[in-house]
Structure 1
Amino acid sequence: MRRFITKISAFAAWAGKNADGAIALILAIVVGVLGILPDDQVPDALQNQLISGATLVILALVATALIRDRSRQEPLEKAFSTGALAELPERLGRLERLESLVEGTRRALDDAALVRVLGSSNEITTALAKARQDAGRWSFKGGTGTYIRAVTLPECVAAARRDKRHLAVTLEIIDPSDVEVCESYAHYRRSLSDHPDGTGEVWTTDRARKESYATVLAAFWHRQRYGLLDIAVGLSSTMTTFRWDLSSHSLVMTVEDPNRAMFALAGTFYYECSDTELRTSLEQARRVPMERYRSVPLSNEPTIEEVLELFERVGLPLPKSYTDHDVVSITRKALRAKDPYGQVPP
């Protein structure tokens, strides 16, 4: 009984909300019943009159329902047109910005995954060794280029000669003729440690100048001996506390701490930015005229006269105070440089 009452109540509630529709439905049923009754039960005149009247009432109810539904929809349409729909372009713009932010974050995370900190001298040595493997180009920016002379340049040239391929090298070091920058660099190195480094020497202004001269001499010496080597040297009047070693495969950025370095693979954001930095910096440096490498042929063991004449020809004369012993020291540093990390090449 309770279930029946519940259904009746639900039907009554529905009929109250949809009275016009319910009445129209009932009248339609009545008209349909009248249409199928036999003529002897309902006279034709009465039947036609009832059907016509019921039809008009049904049409009136249908029209009323349409008008009511339209009146209900107008506030809703107005709300949409002035509310959510009006804000739709702005929300779409926010969605596009959010997608752009997500994409940028994803790229940053991808780059961060390929840029890491090397935490030991063994890791740094290994990373530099891998960078030298089949390297078709090498860009360096740093202090005097001691490690470049001792390891990087000889090994890269030897590998290129073995494979008979082209090698492009750019070096930017401090200007040995600029005493102030050499003094600043030596002071910076001594402030970190006043003990001899891996070469067995302490840093002085004179040593900084000789190390830079030696890098220039080494560049000419290797250029004369390998025709597929393109090498450019820039001399900077400002010092940097970083050393960039950028090869075709990766970038290793070292500092004076032998156990700390930054490493990035080619194609990452950090690698590309560093590549742009090295190119731009080299353009602002004083260029050594490497195209004059034929002007003074250097022996396998360059003589003092050859070294002096070479530096005169390229517009970088050695100081007048330098003795033959100083020239020999520069030559030895150029061709038999000691690895500053302690390894002595054969």
Structure 2
Amino acid sequence: MTRALAWLRNNIDGLVALVLAFIVGMLAVLDLIDVDNVNAVVLLVLGLLAGTLLRDRHLSAQAVRDASSVQLLYGSAIGHAHTLARGGTEQWIFKGGTGTYIRAVTLRSCVENARREQRPLRMQLEILDPADEQLCKTYAQFRTSLTPEGDRTGEAWTTDRTRREAFATVLAACWYRQRFTFLTIGVGLSKVMSTFRWDLSSSCVIVTQESTNSPALMFERDKPYYRDLSRELVASFKQAREVELSRADTVPLADEPSVDQVRRLFDALALPLPATFTDRDVADIVRRALQPRNPY
């Protein structure tokens, strides 16, 4: 019954035209109405049919627009889309693993563009919580299952590497924040691992996977889902543990932060480095934060 009512609602105009045509045809055959009335009804039926055609054309055009609202990107097209997205953007929202690509490319590029154009920049980064050792272990196992030989840097994924990568993203956020007044940046630490990465700019959302062989999805700002994904990223960030980056103001960072500065910084952020981290580990975090290698 419900299906029949839905069909009737969607096709009422065509059904009325068909019924009118049948009734008028029968009356004309029986000579019960004159020619002028027949012509008037014919015009009415044609008008209904024209309206039906226009509606169907509109629905078809809408379906085509919706189908083109999602673009599949492969290989080098993914990097090109990221490059275009960074150009002129006033915001960047990221959700993913440890933020390796964010440090290697996105953060530096967005800050440089904003500084050159003398405009403000807002960034929001949601990454794994490096204090959650089990979560970092799970992520490392996931990455290793995809690429046992390591990523394109040639380095294997381990629990310690995952933690150092995430700490490096926090350090990079603080370092750039101290050097660009108009950078508003927030870092949230998630307790949940995702196999996807979201990057949202002022012009589009790009959804990628850790596997470089998988295609990416791109949703442009004026197409469906952009606003929905933006809302999803904001809601997710609110559920993460936000790092109070303003506390970093008490620990000025040198162009090449020392091991002592980095340790004091993370203590000030209420995110102390693990006791097992040696000075060499801390120096490695600095390298990953300020001299990162692009893993993609």
TM-score by length of 2: 0.79
* Of 209, 231, 249, the match for 2:163: 209
1:170 — aligned with what?
A: 124
Q: Distance in 2 between matches of 1:105 and 1:321?
A: 62
What letter is aligned with 1:200? G
1:182 pairs with 2:136 = yes
Unpaired runs of 5+ residues, structure 1, are: 1-72, 77-91, 342-346
Q: 1:224 to 1:117 in 2, by over 3 A?
A: same
Deviations 1:164-193 (A, max 9, x none): 100000000000000111111111111111
* Of 260, 277, 287, the match for 2:242: 287
1:116 — aligned with what?
A: 71
1:234 — aligned with what?
A: 188
What letter is aligned with 2:199? D
**After TM superposition, what 4+ stretches of structure 1 lie above 6 angstroms from structure 2?**
none
- Aligned positions, number: 248
Secondary structure (helix, strand or coil) at the match of 2:218 reads strand
Q: 1:191 to 1:102 in 2, by over 3 A?
A: farther
Q: Distance in 1 between matches of 2:137 and 2:172?
A: 22
1:191 — aligned with what?
A: 145
**Does the CA-based 8 Å contact 2:69-2:224 persist in structure 1?**
no
Q: 1:297 to 1:129 in 2, by over 3 A?
A: same
1:334 pairs with 2:289 = yes
What is the Cα deviation at residue 290 of structure 1? 1.5
What letter is aligned with 1:192? L
1:249 — aligned with what?
A: 203
What is the Cα deviation at residue 106 of structure 1? 4.2
Deviations 1:194-245 (A, max 9, x none): 0121222110111110000000000000000000000010000000000011
**Does the CA-based 8 Å contact 1:111-1:270 persist in structure 2?**
no
1:133 pairs with 2:76 = no
Q: Distance in 1 between matches of 2:134 and 2:208?
A: 24
1:308 pairs with 2:235 = no
Q: Distance in 2 between matches of 1:142 and 1:103?
A: 38
What letter is aligned with 2:269? V
What letter is aligned with 2:185? I
What is the Cα deviation at residue 273 of structure 1? 1.6
Q: Distance in 2 between matches of 1:197 and 1:224?
A: 31
2:212 — aligned with what?
A: 258
What letter is aligned with 2:145? S
* Of 150, 161, 172, the match for 2:104: 150
Q: Distance in 2 between matches of 1:289 and 1:102?
A: 53
Select the structure that is richer in helix: 1
Deviations 1:60-108 (A, max 9, x none): xxxxxxxxxxxxx9xx9xxxxxxxxxxxxxxx9xx99x95x98666444
Equivalent pairs: percent with the same residue? 47
What is the Cα deviation at residue 272 of structure 1? 1.6
Q: Distance in 2 between matches of 1:336 and 1:253?
A: 25
Larger Rg over CA atoms:
1
Secondary structure (helix, strand or coil) at the match of 2:249 reads coil
Q: Distance in 2 between matches of 1:131 and 1:289?
A: 28
Secondary structure (helix, strand or coil) at the match of 1:329 reads helix
What is the Cα deviation at residue 119 of structure 1? 1.9
Secondary structure (helix, strand or coil) at the match of 2:192 reads coil
Q: Distance in 2 between matches of 1:290 and 1:110?
A: 42
**Does the CA-based 8 Å contact 1:143-1:174 persist in structure 2?**
yes
Secondary structure (helix, strand or coil) at the match of 2:175 reads helix
**Does the CA-based 8 Å contact 2:94-2:126 persist in structure 1?**
yes
What letter is aligned with 2:129? D
Q: 1:105 to 1:280 in 2, by over 3 A?
A: farther
